Copies of this chain bind each other. A is one copy, B any other.
Amino acid sequence: LSNCLGGLCDRPKNTNVRLSLPAVCFVWQIAMIILFGIFIRYDEESDAHWIEHRKHKNISSDIENDFYFRYPSFQDVHVMIFVGFGFLMTFLKRYSFGGVGFNFLIAAFGLQWALLMQGWFHSLDYTDGKIKIGIENLINADFCVAGCLIAYGAILGKVSPVQLMVLTLFGITLFAVEEFIILNLIHARDAGGSMVIHTFGAYYGLSISAMLYRPNLDQSSALHGSVYHSDVFAMIGTLYLWMFWPSFNSAITDHGDAQHRAAINTYLALAATVLTTMAISSLFQKHGKLDMVHIQNSTLAGGVAVGTAAEFMLMPYGSLIVGFCCGIISTLGYIYLTPFMEKYLKIQDTCGIHNLHGMPGVIGGIVGAITAAAASEAVYGQEGLINTFDFVGDFKDMVPSKQGGHQAAGICVAVCFGIGGGVIVGGILRLPIWGDPADDSCFDDEPYWELPEDEESIPPIVQYNNHMRNKDVVESNFSMEQH
């Protein structure tokens, strides 16, 4: 595969996806309908039998339906997936349509597949073989999609929408398996998905990018940058991710204090990250000027890194310390590590996901392991400790120090699934059938989008050239007369 099936890859690129994209969309959507028909039903809180269920279980009020505990957080997470990730990827001067549009496409497909994959692992009702879904499943589906959107960041502008659909199909599948191993088999806790979502997503994307390495990508260098307004658009994405990250990290934690605490910890970690990101960005630039790339990305690293430990008793100052460190590490990553990885490791990372999700995700896993290992009844209370770490059932004899080890094992699983899955999927994506762009038309919406004529910039040039051409004619006539 690495020699790409004997030169097949050397054919001139054909980016026409007129048959392949509709075919993939239709076939997969029809498959979803069939599988949903066979497997997916409402759970007891979203089924019309709720009113009977409520009386049966002596639930005093409709407000105790899980919908009211989680719906506000769900909508915030939904905004992060579609506007947050989508607009963060509009920063390129001529790839804003692809950034926000393909993000939309793969998220909409991925969440359906995620409901099935995660449902089989977590929400299968063995009495009737059906997956029963409610609001928590929707949040988890959005989480699952986030892993693939992170991976998209590494290859932004260098792949076709068909490749992205393939990336998503395999990505969701790998995610669901990896998540089951980490959360259920290993019994690690990962409220905000530092390991499960961010670490996995980042290494999955980076491995794919390595497999799709383009030695002549500098042919697209003219489009590999932002313009003033595209940077402002990207700030919409940044800010929605930043503001709603407390909802992300608290969305599926336990009712009550766990959701409350996760929101506070995330809020604080992110605030500290902004200050150290700005500081490092200014310190390492000529003349102390701030770089928008850092502001758009590194300010979010604290939210990633506090993901696992957000529901633990990390303490407010602990959150600040995590945010403090990640702002520094992530920004330095953009300054030193990304160029290094491109030059020496042959990994081209368009959005710098290694700095925003990879390193902070691993740090988040480590912070989670340490915080778990250090947990004590003095800090959590007896019931609080059991509640927070879910020391029940098969794991009722678990102790914090051992939990710390399990957390650390989770990091390894996430990294391995990311790299292993990425290498395999990257190999598949190298097949010359997916309609990816040539090296000189990367970072360009032109191959996949009908573009409007840009009235604002073209006329001056056109007018100028026309004017010049006429003048030249006049002048050359004039010159001839002179001689």
Contacts and interface: CB of A to CB of B under 8 A. Distances in A.
Given A108-B274, A261-B42, A299-B104, A452 B29 contact: no
Contacts of A304: none
Interface stretch (A180-188, A201-209, A242-250, A394-402): A242-250
Contact of A75 (B33, B76, B482): B76
B49 A381 contact: yes
B63 A68 contact: yes
Given A228-B452, A275-B108, A384-B52, A63 B60 contact: no
A351 interface: no
A71 interface: yes
A289 B54 contact: no
Given A261-B42, A271-B111, A283 B18 contact: yes
A316 B16 CA distance: 34
Contact of A227 (B104, B105, B271, B455): B455
Interface string A254-278: 0111011101100110111011101
A287 B18 CA distance: 6
Contact of A42 (B86, B246, B316): B316
B272 A448 contact: no
B48 A381 contact: yes
A467 B76 CA distance: 52
Copies of this chain, whole number = 3
A47 B289 contact: no
Nearest to A385: B48
Interface stretch (A3-11, A130-138, A148-156, A366-374): A130-138
A29 to B, nearest CB: 5
Contact of A18 (B272, B282, B456): B282
Contacts of A75: 72, 76, 243-244, 246-247
A25 interface: yes
B97 A232 contact: yes
A434 to B, nearest CB: 13
For the residues of A in contact with B, the DSSP-based class is helix
A351 to B, nearest CB: 16
Interface residues of A, number: 152
A112 interface: yes
A260 B235 CA distance: 33
A454 B108 CA distance: 33
Interface in A52-98: 52, 54, 60-69, 71-73, 75-76, 78-79, 82-83, 86-87, 90, 93-94, 96-97
A414 to B, nearest CB: 26
A50 B235 contact: no
A83 B36 contact: no
A28 B54 CA distance: 48
Nearest to A51: B383
Nearest to A54: B256
A121 interface: no
Contacts of A236: 83, 87, 236
A16 to B, nearest CB: 5
B457 A256 contact: no
A299 B459 CA distance: 32
A66 to B, nearest CB: 8
10 contacts: A22-B278, A41-B316, A42-B315, A48-B379, A50-B384, A62-B69, A75-B247, A90-B232, A100-B235, A288-B448
Q: Which 10 A-B pairs have the closest CB atoms?
A: A18-B288, A48-B384, A50-B257, A108-B274, A62-B256, A25-B279, A22-B279, A37-B317, A62-B255, A46-B260
Given A26-B275, A290-B448, A292-B449, 20 more contacts: A19-B288, A22-B280, A33-B320, A40-B317, A41-B316, A48-B384, A51-B257, A52-B384, A62-B255, A63-B63, A63-B69, A83-B240, A93-B456, A104-B274, A115-B316, A161-B278, A289-B449, A459-B461, A460-B464, A478-B479
